[in-house]
Amino acid sequence: MIDASIAELSASLRAKRFSSVELTQAHLARIESLDGKLNAFISVDAGRAIADARAADDSIGKGENGALTGIPIAHKDILVTAGMRTTCGSRMLANYTSPFDAHVVDRLARAGTVLLGKTNMDEFAMGSSSETSYFGPVRNPWHLDYVPGGSSGGSAAAVAARLVAGGTGTDTGGSIRQPAAMSGVCGLKPTYGVCSRYGLVAFASSLDQAGPFARSAEDLALLLNAMAGHDPRDSTSLERAEEDYARLIREDRGAKPLADIRIGLPAEYFGAGVDAAVARAIDEALAVFRTLGAETVAVALPNVKLAIPVYYVIAPAEASSNLSRFDGVRYGHRAATYADLADMYAKTRAEGFGAEVKRRILVGTYVLSHGYYDAYYLKAQQVRRLIADDFRAAYAKCDAIAGPTSPTAAFKIGAKSDDPVQMYLNDIFTIAANLTGAPALSIPCGFDRSGLPIGLQLQGPAFTEAKLLDVAHRFQQATDWHRRFPAGTE
């Protein structure tokens, strides 16, 4: 049962082939036996999970079940949960428990999911490898010496290793899509404002967006159906009519289901710097899309090369302010001894934050400083608009843009730890979607010579999640990359 997709599990639960309690126990058993190696979880609460599963079985018994009732999931440990600590992978919050649930946590709970635990991540979501966690690095289920990608590497690894059927992540510059690619699972960053940020511990407020991890595009749609929705507590949450993100997936469109889809291929995503194995896998995927009826067209994104510098101004700027609340006064870590107030702040934050978080706070403080604001932050916001203009122009010629999610497959743990710029380049293809607020997803499309997964990214204009998920789903109907499971952990 652990190999099945959420859609299949849901059908089995409905047919009472097994109960949610049995399903949950099977997953808890896998966590028990495998997570010692993977370190995908920071917290696991078996008692709560079994209680959730019992409640789900009751609902199923009464015929009140939805598509996610009884499905075991995990949340990235940056989404706050009442009754289970939320650490953000940081010493600063190592013992912090929120009195309330994040909006997406609450919505998934109401949909009947069973919460197994909270997943490991780069500290405060700052990283592309899930190595910067105070709770130690997450390991890639396909090869334990490799990173799973980041920052939502715990959720990606847990879904890949089938410790859970699905999970949540957050994506500020690629933190769902890049680990999805490197861990061989599916991940979606919705349009900014589709999922409420209430209860998502802020990294970069104008870029952060929660989204689902799963093993198929269809499962992503089912999870997004539960997660999306207006929340008056988040002023950037959008008021839109409820949408069924799986509606296009359910359509029967014959052998050429993508006949009216034009897929844009930006030269900027296929040039130097992309690993040969990745380029080959993407080319093969594009051939599949053509077989399914899609047309591929060349598009240009001349300013997209500026996405990384723009991002590394805006994201640290917002982060430097967002992380100011971690001051040792009201909650979280506080230094044991200090001379005065300034010393309390300095020691608390020096001890509570790791190196990468400090680096970004320093960069962010610098770019917002008097005399530098115009040159950095303001300029970055202007370039951000130029990048959005590029995409608008491209979407006049195509429905979606395809390319590699990441220029390489996963790298070895420690390989890029000392070189932040190399680390930042991992997100070269994913960052633009955060800067423009547009939706984007990653699905598995092959492996490199070491047997490490490769991901394909699909991006579209705002609110085209259903279409992107449908395109991904048609690809998965024609291929089985998403049905491959890692043997590295077992």
Partner 1 sequence: MSWEVVIGLETHAQLSTASKIFSGASTAFGAAPNTQASAVDIALPGVLPVLNRGAVERAIRFGLAVGGTISRRSVFARKNYFYPDLPKGYQISQYEVPVVQGGTLTIAAAEGEQVVRLTRAHLEEDAGKSLHEDYHGMSGIDLNRAGTPLLEIVSEPELRSAADAVTYARTLHALVRWIGICDGNMQEGSFRCDANVSVRRQGDSKLGTRCEIKNLNSFRFLQHAIEFEVRRQIELIEDGGTVVQETRLYDPDRGETRPMRGKEDAQDYRYFPDPDLPPLAIDEAWIEREKKYMPELPQAMRARFVATYALPAHDAAALTADRETAGYFEAAVESLGGDRTTAGKLVANWMLGELAAALNRDGRTIASASIHADGLAALLRRIADGTISGKMGKEVFEAMWAGERGGDADAIIAANGLQQISDAGAIDKVVDDVLAANAAIVAEFRAGKEKAFQSLVGRAMAATKGKADPAKVNVALKRKLAD
User: Which residues are catalytic, by number?
Assistant: 76, 151, 175
Q: Which stretch binds partner 1 (CB under 8 A): 115-123, 157-165, 180-188, 366-374?
A: 366-374
Nearer to partner 1, 69 or 81 (CB): 81
Q: In angstroms, give the least distance from the CB of 311 to partner 1.
A: 14
Q: Does 422 bind partner 1 (CB under 8 A)?
A: no
Binding residue for partner 1 (CB under 8 A) from 240, 325, 392, 412? Answer: 325
> Does 99 interact with partner 1 (rule: CB under 8 A)?
yes
Q: Among residue numbers 14 through 73, which ones bind partner 1 (CB under 8 A)?
A: none
> Is 281 an interacting residue with respect to partner 1 (CB under 8 A)?
no
Establish if 9 lies at the interface with partner 1 (CB under 8 A): no
86 binds partner 1 (CB under 8 A): yes
* 3-state secondary structure string across the chain: CCCCCHHHHHHHHHCCCCCHHHHHHHHHHHHHHHHHHHCCEEEECHHHHHHHHHHHHHHHHCCCCCCCCCCEEEEECCECEECECCCCCCHHHCCCCECCCCHHHHHHHHCCCEEEEEECCCHHHCCCCCCCCCCCCCCECCECCECCCCCCHHHHHHHHCCCCCEEEEECCCCCCHHHHHHHCCEEEECCCCCCCCCCECCCCCCCCCEEEEECCHHHHHHHHHHHCCCCCCCCCCCCCCCCCCCCCCCCCCCCCCCCCCEEEEEHHHCCCCCCHHHHHHHHHHHHHHHHCCCEEEEECCCCHHHHHHHHHHHHHHHHHHHHHHCCCCCCCCCCCCCCCHHHHHHHHHHHHCCHHHHHHHHHHHHHCCCCCCHHHHHHHHHHHHHHHHHHHHHCCCCCEEEEECCCCCCCECCCCCCCHHHHHHHHCCCHHHHHHCCCEEEEEEEECCCCCEEEEEEECCCCCHHHHHHHHHHHHHHCCHHHCCCCCCC
Residue in 213, 139, 211 with CA at minimum distance from that of residue 181? 213
- Which one of 97-105, 405-413, 430-438, 450-458 is the stretch in contact with partner 1 (CB under 8 A)? 97-105
Q: Does 236 sit near partner 1 (CB under 8 A)? A: yes
For residue 175, say if its preceding peptide bond is cis, omega within 30 degrees of 0. Answer: no
Indicate whether 233 belongs to the interface with partner 1 (CB under 8 A): yes
Nearest distance from residue 479's CB to partner 1, in Å?
Answer: 38
With contacts defined by CB under 8 A, name the span among 262-270, 325-333, 411-419, 422-430 that binds partner 1.
Answer: 325-333
- Nearest CB to partner 1, comparing residues 235 and 337: 235
8 binds partner 1 (CB under 8 A): no
The per-type count for the chain, helices as H runs and strands as E runs, is: 15, 11
**Is 329 among the residues that bind partner 1 (CB under 8 A)?**
yes
Of 8, 327, 389, 448, the one binding partner 1 (CB under 8 A) is 327
Distance CA 179, CA 76 (A): 12
362 is a site residue for partner 1 (CB under 8 A)? no
Instruction: State which of residues 144, 265, 295, 331 lies at the interface with partner 1 (CB under 8 A).
Output: 331
Compare residues 236 and 477 and give the one whose CB is closer to partner 1.
236
**Per-position x/- string for 194-223, each x denoting binding to partner 1 as judged by CB under 8 A, each - no binding:** ---xxxxxx-xxx-----------------
Comparing CB distances to partner 1, the nearer of 184 and 199 is: 199
Contact flag: residue 431 with partner 1 (CB under 8 A): no
In angstroms, give the least distance from the CB of 345 to partner 1: 6
Q: Which stretch binds partner 1 (CB under 8 A): 24-32, 68-76, 220-228, 312-320?
A: 312-320
Contact segment (CB under 8 A) with partner 1 among 3-11, 109-117, 316-324, 352-360 equals 316-324
Q: Does the footprint of partner 1 cover residue 122 (CB under 8 A)?
A: no
Residue 114 or 361: the one with the smaller Cβ distance to partner 1 is 361
Member of 4, 12, 96, 275 binding partner 1 (CB under 8 A): 96
| Residue 104 binding partner 1, by CB under 8 A | no
Q: How many of the other CB atoms lie within 10 Å of CB of 305?
A: 13
Please give the helix or strand (H or E) that residue 44 lies within, else none: strand 41-44
Nearest in space to 158 (alpha carbons), one of 178, 184, 125 = 184
Nearer to partner 1 by Cβ, of 167 and 455: the residue is 167
Interacting residue ranges for partner 1, rule: CB under 8 A: 79-80, 86, 88, 93, 96, 98-100, 102, 197-202, 204-206, 232-236, 317-318, 320-321, 323-325, 327, 329-331, 341, 345, 365, 368-370, 373, 377
